[in-house]
Amino acid sequence: MHKILLVDDEEAIRQSLREILEYENYKIEEAKDGLECTVKLKKSTYDVVLLDVKMPKMNGFDALDRIRTIAPNTSVIMISGHSSIPDAVEAVKKGAFDFIQKPLDINKLQITIKNAINRSNLVQKTEKLERVIRHSGKIQEIIGQSDAIQRVKEEIEMVAPMPRTRVLITGPNGSGKELVARWIHEKSPRKENSIVEVNCAAIPSELIESELFGHEKGSFTSAHKKRIGKFEQAHNGTIFLDEIGDMSLSAQAKVLRALQENRITRVGGEKDIKVDVRVIAATNKDLKQEIAKGNFREDLYHRLSVILIHVPSLNDRRNDVPELINHFLDIFHNIQGLPKKTITEKAMKEMQGHDWSGNIRQLRNTVERLIIMTRGNEIGLEDVQKQVTKR
């Protein structure tokens, strides 16, 4: 339900407008002057403000200046029984959505309110999109000051400048292995070129070779045109092979050849194609155990694991939980436009002691759920116990 704030020093006018607009399913609040209007706007949000010009304590034009500072995206419709063309022009210049003369034409007022709400919705959507665009090109920081995460940061700083050194990143699901790979690329001499990411677990085994190395037209039934594979796309950049422990043995053999010779061959092709890529791989599996089971090639393991970086689970770095929670609270507010909320000390301690088997991914989802499901602007112990610890 859309909220409208009626600001007029005449009670009879406020009452009349309230009855009309509540009949149209708007939620109505009132203020008797500009000063009371600004106080209400500091405490709550409104879709539209209907603002009279002539009022005691603070007139409509002064109130409009304050509103533009307090709630710049709120649409303001000025109303006056003593209006003039210069007043209307000044109102629009100051940022009013429209200017309507008294006595009010109710049909015109209703149309203007609907247009003002549509404008507010469009502004909110545009700002959300701009926030996403602004942040989409940035790599998220690695959050945390624990000894375990500091070691990871130090290892990134040491290995990143070596443009051909291969890295194998290990750690449980949701711990941030992909973020580590992105920072290695970002801090490397290859950062001006692409980092191409491949989730080996998400691609069917019969398609993984085509995905990695490409294929020629007609090489199999659905190959209607030539396809450039991920290794070629990553030429002079970095390829990130996520969940490589799930790759088929046949694909492993071809990846091994690519690493040995810096060449690949498209599926159905005969021509060798030279590629210059840095390979970063990641897995949540114990590859030595997979080698013992016959599921992973030992020679490929040694090719990939020139440098090993282990990303700790969140349960092994609980001291970082408060910083991560505050970071996610900011993200959901600044980027996704969710309400700004804080968390009490008791609630924070409860979160810190929780079993985060799903690691960073689980924590992020939990913070988002708490923002949405918690009433008010503060997340308390009861909210955490209801939404987190009882799940």
| DSSP conformation letters of 260-275 | HHSEE--BT----EE-
263-264 vs 273-274, strand pairing mode = antiparallel
Residue ranges matching CATH 3.40.50.300 in the chain: 148-312
DSSP 3-state assignment of 170?
strand
**Which residues is 278 bridged to in the sheet?**
238
Topology (CATH) of 315-389: Helicase, Ruva Protein; domain 3 (1.10.8)
Please tell me the CATH superfamily of domain 148-312, with its number.
P-loop containing nucleotide triphosphate hydrolases (3.40.50.300)
Considering the chain, tell me which residue range(s) the CATH 1.10.8.60 domain(s) occupy: 315-389
Q: At what angle do helices 60-70 and 85-93 cross, to 10 degrees?
A: 20
- pLDDT tens, per residue, the chain with 391 residues: 889 999 998 888 889 999 999 988 899 999 998 889 989 988 888 999 999 888 888 888 888 888 888 888 889 998 887 666 777 777 777 788 888 888 888 888 899 999 988 887 777 666 666 555 444 556 788 999 999 999 999 999 999 999 999 999 999 999 999 999 999 999 999 999 999 999 998 888 778 888 999 998 888 777 778 889 999 999 999 999 999 999 989 889 989 999 999 999 998 888 889 999 999 999 999 999 999 999 999 999 999 999 999 999 999 999 999 999 999 998 888 776 778 899 999 999 999 999 999 999 999 999 999 999 998 899 999 999 988 865 4
pTM of the model as a whole: 0.65
Cα distances from 14 to residues 9, 82, 132, 214, in angstroms, run 8, 17, 40, 69
308: amino acid identity, one letter: L
Contact 383, 370 (CB under 8 A): yes
Instruction: Show the tokens assigned to 84.
Output: 């003039």
C-alpha triplet 272, 275, 279: angle, nearest 5°: 130
Q: Extract the tokens encoding 208.
A: 């993984």
Q: Are 327 and 369 in contact (CB under 8 A)?
A: no
- Which residues, 6 or more positions from 138, have their beta carbon under 8 angstroms from its beta carbon? none
CATH superfamily of 3-136: Response regulator (3.40.50.2300)
